[in-house]
Amino acid sequence: MHHEELTRSMEQRQRTQKRGESSFNVEKSRLDFPMLRRSVHGKQLVYLDNAATTQKPTQVLDRMDRFYREEYATVRRGVYGLSQEATEYCHETRKRCQTFLNASSADEIIFTKGTTEAINLLATSYGEKFLHEKDEVLVATTEHHSNIVPWQRLCEKKRAQLRVIPVNDQGEILLEEFKKLLNAQTKIVSVAHVSNALGIIHPIEEITKLAHRAGAVVVIDGAQAAAHLPIDVQRIDCDFYAFSGHKTFGPTGIGVLYGKQKWLESMDPYQGGGDMISSVTFEKITYAPPPAKFEAGTPAIAEIIGLGAALEYLEQFSFDALHAHEQRLLQAATEAIASSGKIKIIGNGQTKVGIISFVMEGIHPHDIGTILDQEGVAVRAGHHCAQPTMDRFGIPATTRISFALYNTFDDVEKLLEGMNQVKKVFGI
């Protein structure tokens, strides 16, 4: 696509965007994110690495700063006012997470360090208790390592088998093949809601239904979905769902594991320590009920409060409007990249969030990422902690761009200008 054509195309899409997003003003939202105002290598930052982590709005930064400056105290059992207030702030976030996921009870919300810890918790607390020799765990080919390695380790320990659900050439789960894999030995099915490397939205409701018919529990890795799609765990009917705060405009070091009450009550604790017990003697331990049973020690109090502020920030927008905005960016970038010579997009599924992975003939993704960085454009280059995905498509790595609510068509245009610079450097 020639630059003049690209410019006209972008201007048309910008006009369409302004007509179609009365409930979401991207330029207004950008003012909430101070990082978007900085420069990199003398160029205005274009941040397109949102699948790795999102930037933080002032509302989150100010809330955490206020807690540390004016409200700080530890939580649980404190008889003084500051401690009781901090405890209540954390409870408010738990309730907000319940609403965000449409869980049936706040007691089904466990705070973790993030999605990775949540899946490790499940592999330990659920898997070690309920998985037995010759049982099977199913994951998809395109999982993040965090949704592979804990299950591999569990299967090795329990002498169970890890089996892999194949995907087609577009990166979509092959449901017919999934059905063939299900059997009486299938005990756990753990899949991503959205592929982190490709952006494909998987049919998790259908997967859950099929898995339940086979008698398996279902774990959903929602790390890439939570900032982009409405989530209703009761409608999905999954047994567990996890997401990370730092990918939903909140702080690092905090995440959420949702679990059906019946499973949380029957599972063993993940860690031992303070506040996860009802009573302790040298002869016997009685555990506290969920969620306390899985939250040993002093929690990440400021981060929990920051997560609450991030979810409150998201609540002001319609997910339909956010999704429509990101889909316009996805379509514009996909068309422009696909029409450019020597570039191949990996993962062209019918339903995607705003993630594009691509390879460029003769140029390593790390070189592409380095040149784009010099142009002020931040992208991710590598295997994206999804080496089996790369193996499936016969490539070592991709360049990945990923959108969030604050990205614009100008960002897409600057990306494409940066790609022209890549071609210039390599003489293409």
Whether residues 357 and 290 share a domain: the answer is no
Catalytic residue list contains 97: no
State how far the Cα of 421 lies from the Cα of 428, in Å rounded to an integer: 10
Write the DSSP assignment of 47-73 as a string of letters.
E-BTTT-----HHHHHHHHHIIIII--
Domain of 397, in residue numbers: 3-49+318-425
Output the domain CATH number for residue 7: 3.90.1150.10
Average pLDDT, integer, range 195-203: 98
Q: What is the pLDDT of residues 52-96, one digit of tens each?
A: 999 999 999 999 999 999 999 999 878 999 999 999 999 999 999
Whole-number Å distance between alpha carbons of 149 and 129: 18
Same domain, yes or no, for 297 and 149?
Answer: yes
277 and 347 inside one domain: no
Mean of pLDDT values over 141-150? 98
Is the pLDDT at 15 greater than 50? The verdict is no
Residues 309 and 327 in one domain: no
Q: Are 91 and 119 in the same domain?
A: yes
In the predicted structure, residue 171 carries a pLDDT above the cut 90: yes
Task: Look at residue 11 in the predicted model and tell me its pLDDT.
Answer: 52
Same-domain status, 45 and 103: no
Per-residue pLDDT averaged across 26-37, rounded?
A: 97
Q: What is the DSSP letter of 350?
A: S
Residue 362 lies in a domain: yes
Assess whether 302 and 335 both reside in one domain: no
Domain co-membership, 37 together with 115: no
Q: Is the pLDDT of residue 13 over 90?
A: no
**Domain containing residue 256: CATH number:** 3.40.640.10
Per-residue pLDDT at 342: 85
Tell which of 299, 315, 331 closes a domain: 315
In this structure, are 375 and 310 located in the same domain?
A: no
Q: Which of 315, 339, 354 is the last residue of a domain?
A: 315
Q: Where are the beta strands (DSSP E) in 200-239?
A: 217-221
In a domain, 43, yes or no: yes
Statement: residue 399 has pLDDT above 50: yes
Q: In the 3-class helix/strand/coil scheme, how is 233-280 assigned residue by residue?
A: HHHHCCCEEEEEHHHCCCCCCCEEEEECHHHHHHCCCCCCCCCCEEEE
Mean pLDDT of the chain: 94
What contacts 360, CB < 8 A, 6 or more positions away? Answer: 342, 343, 344, 368, 399, 422
Residue 105 inside a domain? The answer is yes
Same domain, 131 and 221: yes
The H or E element containing residue 164 is strand 161-165
Residues 194 and 322 in one domain: no
In a domain, 162, yes or no: yes
User: 231-289 pLDDT, tens per residue?
Assistant: 999 999 999 999 999 999 999 999 999 999 999 999 999 999 888 888 888 988 888 89
Question: Has residue 270 been placed in a domain?
Answer: yes
Ordered strands of the 380-382 beta sheet: 343-346, 355-360, 398-402, 380-382
Q: Number of folded domains in the chain?
A: 2
CA dihedral sign, ordered 232, 233, 237, 242: positive
In this structure, the answer to whether residues 297 and 169 fall within a common structural domain is yes
- Each residue of 107-139: pLDDT tens digit? 999 999 999 999 999 999 999 999 999 999 999
pLDDT tens track for 211-233: 999 999 999 999 999 999 999 99
At 22, list the tokens: 């009365």
Give the rounded percent of residues in the chain with a pLDDT score beyond 70: 95
Q: Quote the percentage of the chain above a pLDDT of 90.
A: 88
Domain boundary residue, one of 284, 315, 346: 315
At 321-340, the pLDDT tens digits run 999 999 999 999 999 998 88
Given 90, 97, 155, 385, which residue is catalytic? 385
